[in-house]
Amino acid sequence: MAELTKLETKLAEVTGLAMAAQAATEKVMTLARQESPTLISRLEQMNQEAAETERRCTQLADSMEGKKTAILEEARATKSKAAR
């Protein structure tokens, strides 16, 4: 795996947290449908914002020559840590 700079590592962390946020909001939406349906629209917006952040970060990682795979691997590790 390529060695990441501090900036690339932070990009990976942001990407991973955006991934985790999507999973978390989906889980909360499932609970909210039963207990508090009024929250659904706000949770959907949060989920869309997290998806957009992930897309933008991935696009940025694409532009970093030879680092995309390492950045996305680090992002998945961050997502896994956040999900605990």
pLDDT (tens digit per residue) in 42-75: 999 999 999 999 999 999 999 998 899 999 999 9
User: Which 3-state string (H, E, C) describes 3-44?
Assistant: CCCHHHHHHHHHHHHHHHHHHHHHHHHHHHHHHCHHHHHHHH
What pTM value is reported for the model? 0.90
